[in-house]
């Protein structure tokens, strides 16, 4: 869940807030150079989130070894 929150916050800042603040002149236009970095971090965090969700689904089968009856 942490990686999804980090992905969403990087996308929100890079795709929404920075262009809006540049357009309204609250920050300098040079801040636009940080957007690709934020997109890069967003991609990394999204990939990590997918990896950990995939690993959790693979290891969910291990519970069957401990509790063979799901109704317990």
Domain ranges of the chain: 2-66
Percent over 70 (pLDDT), the chain: 96
Query: Does residue 53 carry a pLDDT above 80?
Result: yes
CA atoms in the 13 A half-sphere facing the CB of 59: 6
pLDDT value at residue 42? 97
Give residue-wise pLDDT tens across range 16-38: 999 999 999 999 999 999 999 99
Question: What is the pLDDT at residue 2?
Answer: 96
State pTM to two decimals. 0.79
* CA–CA distance, 26 with 72 (Å, rounded to integer): 59
| pLDDT reported for residue 9 | 97
């Amino acid at each position: 869940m942490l990686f999804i929150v980090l992905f969403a916050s990087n996308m929100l800042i890079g795709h929404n807030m920075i262009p809006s603040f540049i357009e309204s002149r609250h920050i300098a236009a040079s801040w636009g150079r940080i957007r690709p970095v934020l997109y890069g971090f967003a991609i990394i965090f999204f990939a990590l989130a997918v990896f950990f969700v995939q690993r959790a689904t693979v290891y969910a089968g291990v519970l069957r070894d401990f509790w063979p009856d799901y109704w317990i």
